[in-house]
Amino acid sequence: MTGQSLPLLATLGWRNLWRHPRRTLVILFAIVLGVWFMIFSAALMIGIVEQQLQDTIFNLTGHAQIHNPKFRDDPAIEHSMPAPNQALLEVLNSRDVVQWSARVRLPAVAMSVRESRGVMLVGIDPQRERGLSFIGEPVVEGRALESISDNGIIIGRRMAEKLETRIGQRIVIMSQDRDKEVADRGFRIVGLFQAELEATETAYVFAGLATTQKLLGMGSDISEISLVTNSREGLDPLVARLSNAAPELESMSWQELEPLVVTAMEFYEAFMVYWYLIIFAAMGIGLTNTMLMSVFERTREIGLFQALGMRPRFIVGQVLMETLILLVIGITIGNLAGWLTTDVLLASGIDLSAFAQGTEQFNMASTMYLTLRPNDLLQINALVIALGLLASLYPAVKAARYVPVEAITRT
Amino acid sequence: MGTVLRLAWRNLWRNRRRTWLTAGAIAFSTILLVGWVPIQFGAYDIMINATLRVFPGHAQVQRPGYQGKPKIRNAIDDAETLANSLRNGSKHFTGVAVRAQGFVLLSSGSRSYGAQIVGVEPEYEGDTSSIPGLIKEGRYLSSIDAQELVIGSALARNLKLKVGDEVTLLGGGKDGSVAAAILPVVGIFDSGSRELDRFFSEIPLHTFQDIFTMGDSAHTITIMGKSVEDQAQLLTALNDAIRDRGDVVVLGWEELVPGMKEAIQIDKVSGFIFLGILIAIVVFSILNTFLMSILERTREFGLMLALGSRPKRIAGLMMLESALLTLIGLSIGFIIGTALVYWAHVSGIQFPGAEDIMEQFNMPEMGRIYPQMKLFNFLLGPITIFVATNLAAWVPILRIRKLEPIEAMRTI
């Protein structure tokens, strides 16, 4: 095909489409619906996964962590690490790190007058947790911790219910200290935090970093350093730099820390492609049928074209162009509809709080946010155009194979 | 009527290609829908059974208020006698087991962790819980008063305990006294549920009652029925059985694991919405061939009208044609779809990577899905398609009534 003939094919394709406006509108509607559905389900699926990722990162994980190499397998006090040295501090305070914080994180038992529970005692630096984890956010009741040597403790809202205690009362925290003796201490509850998942609210209690270190006789030792960075791509080099600065410690990105989240993301991405194919099959079969019909109807006309000297590949081109125009219109409207539903209509998320316990069962937050990624849009549109043209190849080739004389004489 | 049927049948095969195209489209979407619903429902079965089998059971008898606030003081008196009367009471109960539960600090030589401790009847616990069958090292508890303990695999690892090691437990007794004991670990279980493996330990019931000064009381009587579907009968039978005990209540699994029912509801609703949209796409896809098969034949209709056919009769013919066409597609799709589902029902469907994810959701067995073979599940999809395509056929059929024979015969 020469460059000149393209406009001609486009004109032919466009006019052919509107010979049967009703038929074109029906198949157009199927394409729009299909494209919209692909976009919507991608946004829903990716939204759920991204939110799980955000929650995981905000749930004391961060983008990367540094530990004693033995700590992750066996989170015990003897697997603590020293406070960061000069070399490590240099990397931590570099431009790539938005926020970092040192924590003590050890198993303990929390006892109120009536009940006792196993918890994770987390000693934090309140100022540094801001923007790093959920505990840096304001608490739902009472006050947040004010400094590393704050004497109060913050527990989960639902934890307070389980322990039958409330703000202002004391609970006893019991754990093992450096010499493997039982260390215990009473804390006054100064604030209650709230988390989306009940498991989070009952898993952690937060005290000042220095207070915790003193209670457990740890000196300046800590359990972990957690950090967030501002670029996803820069994470791996950053982790490598951390490893270089502290070779005796273990520096890991969230992908290594939470392999399940990564597995889930990969699973969903693979699943999405299958899902697209199913949706495409549903509309593709209609597309092939419609193009076939439109070619059958035009048998005589196509025969005439050929008799007048049009090459078979131009006939293929003509049908493909017709499909392309159809697909482009369908995709444009579909994308628009997809953007409208995800970014405008449902921009504030889908509220499932009526099913809060159910979403909890799935480890999901009760509000679902749709996430539209440019990459997914690109993938969907490319897939629909490629497969759509493929689906109309059969009718196109069919038309090109007509024998002119037979085709013209057919009624 | 016989003539119309023959006419309809022959009309279908006048344009074989179009018929096969349309029937193929219908067959394809039928396969999709026949496969979908049974898989969805099969997944719920597994989710419910897997979760309930591990520990909660189909129903429990408890003291009022225990479910919300499991306090050690809120115990059922003389629990074993009540359990024995239930065992003999109804054929609906396939498993009845008494449990007492508390929270302790477990300490090995160097480590201490908080854990849930459950006193169980070793003889009966296997009827209501899968934990006795999930012992990966050592053995399960031997008798109701043995001085021994089994423990979750992650908890054992954290405490650095092996089978044969001793563990100290420290907690509060029913009367408020300090409850303490040293017991040997005889078994380690691996349930696949993170929560149970990390926070759970079991000891014989009488040992529990001694340590925690419980006397003859316990906290729950767990009951298994024949299957989740018999839940209503199970609850009725259970309520009858405990009527003369005013101090206890019956809780079904919906109350024991409140999240699950909602989880299934969300999934069902979203599943049906997705299915509905997919059906809509399929219907619009098929609609064109349908429209064409009628619009194309304007000339023929004109001739029939001129020869004296009533519009009604032609419309009837068209209805019959579309019904036949749909049925051909449906049958093909149904046969292939059912065969696929049956194959999946026998061998199970394994999604790559799904097992890891389901374990995270506390449902390790969800990695493999066995579609539920039930008539309703199979027919739901095909019926929807049948109704939808035949409704779609009405659009062109209504036009026939407006046709003028002479004009219609002139169209090409």
Q: Which residues of A touch B262 (CB under 8 A)?
A: 355-359, 361
Cα distance between residue A170 and residue A185, in whole Å: 10
pLDDT given for residue B172 in this prediction: 85
CB–CB of A363 and B18 under 8 A? no
Q: Which residues contact B398 (CB under 8 A, 6 or more apart)?
A: none
Q: pLDDT category, A34, cuts 50, 70, 90?
A: very high
Task: Output the CA angle B102-B107-B112, nearest 5 degrees.
Answer: 95
What would the pLDDT profile of A46-95 be if each residue is shown by its tens digit?
888 888 888 888 888 899 999 999 888 778 888 899 999 998 999 899 88
A36 contacts A220 by C-beta, under 8 angstroms: no
For residue A398, CA distances in Å to A392, A404, B221, B251, B291 come to: 10, 13, 72, 67, 22
**Ranges A33-37, A158-162, A368-372, B84-88: which has the least confidence:** A368-372
pLDDT at B362: 44
| Nearest by Cα to B208 from B133, B327, B121 | B121
- A383: burial class by Cβ within 10 Å (0-12, 13-18, 19+)? middle
> What six digits make up the tokens of B282?
């399929």
Residues B103, A175: C-beta atoms closer than 8 Å = no
Model pLDDT, residue B214:
92
- Residue B384 Cα, gap to closest chain A Cα (Å): 15
B203 or A163, which is more confident: B203
Q: What is the DSSP string of B69-95?
A: S--TTS-BTTHHHHHHHHHHH-TT-SE
The reported pLDDT for the residue numbered A292 is 85
Q: What is the mean pLDDT of residues A201-223?
A: 92
Query: Which structure tokens are listed for A230?
Result: 């501002």
Q: Does A133 touch chain B (CB under 8 A)?
A: no
Cβ contact A286–B171 (<8 Å): no
The residue assigned the tokens 């092939």 is A288
Q: Is the pLDDT higher at B260 or at A149?
A: A149
Q: What is the mean pLDDT of residues A323-327?
A: 93
Interface contact B263-A266, CB threshold 8 A: no
Contact A286 B29 (CB under 8 A): no
Q: What is the dihedral of CA A123, A129, A134, A135, to 10 degrees?
A: 40
Q: Give, in order, the Cα–Cα distances in Å from B263 to each of A355, A356, B254, B259, B288.
A: 7, 9, 11, 6, 39
Q: Which residues of A touch B105 (CB under 8 A)?
A: 109, 116, 118, 174
Rg of chain A over Cα atoms, rounded to whole angstroms, equals 31
Interface predicted TM-score (ipTM) of this complex, two decimals: 0.72
Q: Which helix (H) or strand (E) holds B114?
A: strand B112-120
Q: What is the pLDDT, as a whole number, of residue B129? A: 87
pLDDT at A408 over 80: no
DSSP E strand stretches across B298-386? 349-350, 368-369
Give the pLDDT score at B259.
75
| Rounded Cα–Cα distance for residues B276 and B284 (Å) | 12
Set of chain B residues whose Cβ sits within 8 Å of the Cβ of A326:
none
The overall average pLDDT reported for chain A is 86
pLDDT at position B370 = 62
> Residue A107: closest CA among chain B residues belongs to which residue?
B113
A183: left (phi over 0), alpha (psi -120 to 50) or beta: beta
Are the C-beta atoms of residues B63 and B75 closer than 8 Å to each other?
Answer: yes
Chain A segment 201-240 residues within 8 A of B by beta carbon are none
What contacts A261, CB < 8 A, 6 or more positions away? A52, A53, A56, A254
Q: How far apart (Å, rounded) are the C-alpha atoms in residues A238 and B387?
A: 60
- Report the relative pairing of strands B368-369 and B349-350 from DSSP bridges: antiparallel
Do B266 and A290 make contact, defined as CB atoms within 8 angstroms? no
Q: What is the pLDDT of residue B361?
A: 44
Query: Chain A window 294-353: which residues touch B at a Cβ cutoff of 8 Å?
Result: 297, 352
Indicate left, alpha or beta for B213 from its phi (over 0: left) and psi (-120 to 50: alpha).
left
Q: Which of residues 16-35 of A touch B (CB under 8 A)?
A: 22-23, 26-27, 29-30, 33-34
Residues 6+ apart with CB under 8 A from B243: none
pLDDT tens digits, A235-269: 889 999 999 998 999 999 988 888 777 877 887 78
CA-based nearest residue in chain B for residue A115? B71
Q: How many residues does chain B have?
A: 412
- Which residues of chain B have a CB within 8 Å of the CB of A283? 281, 284-285
Three-state SS for chain A is CCCCHHHHHHHHHHHHHCCCHHHHHHHHHHHHHHHHHHHHHHHHHHHHHHHHHHHHHHHHHCCEEEECCCCCCCCCHHHCECCCCHHHHHHHCCCCEEEEEEEEEEEEEEECCCCEEEEEEEEECHHHHCCCCHHHCCCCEECCCCCCCCCEEEEEHHHHHHHCCCCCCEEEEEEECCCCCEEEEEEEEEEEECCCCHHHHHHEEEEEHHHHHHHCCCCCCECEEEEEECCCCCHHHHHHHHHHHCCCCEEEEHHHHCHHHHHHHHHHHHHHHHHHHHHHHHHHHHHHHHHHHHHHHCHHHHHHHHHCCCCHHHHHHHHHHHHHHHHHHHHHHHHHHHHHHHHHHCCCCEECHHHHHHHHHCCCCCEECCCCCHHHHHHHHHHHHHHHHHHHHHHHHHHHCCCHHHHHHCC
Spell out the per-residue pLDDT of chain B, length 412, in tens. Answer: 578 888 888 888 887 877 887 888 788 878 877 777 777 676 677 777 777 877 888 999 999 989 888 888 899 999 999 898 888 877 788 889 999 999 888 988 777 888 899 999 999 998 888 888 888 899 999 999 999 999 999 899 888 899 999 999 988 888 888 889 999 999 999 877 777 888 899 999 999 999 999 999 999 999 998 877 778 888 888 888 888 888 899 999 888 887 777 777 777 777 778 878 887 887 787 777 777 777 777 788 888 888 888 888 888 888 888 889 889 998 998 899 888 878 877 776 665 555 555 554 444 454 555 666 666 666 777 887 788 778 877 877 787 777 787 777 776 5
**DSSP structural state of residue B230:** G
Q: Do B285 and A282 touch (CB under 8 A)?
A: yes
- Statement: residue A356 has pLDDT above 70: no
* C-alpha to C-alpha distance for A368 and A350, rounded to whole angstroms: 5
Query: If DSSP codes are grouped into helix, strand and coil, which group holds residue B178?
Result: strand
Of residues A32 and B392, more confidently modeled? A32
Contact with chain B for residue A357, Cβ under 8 A: yes
Cα distance between residue A57 and residue A268, in whole Å: 19
Report yes or no: A266 at the B interface, CB cutoff 8 Å. yes
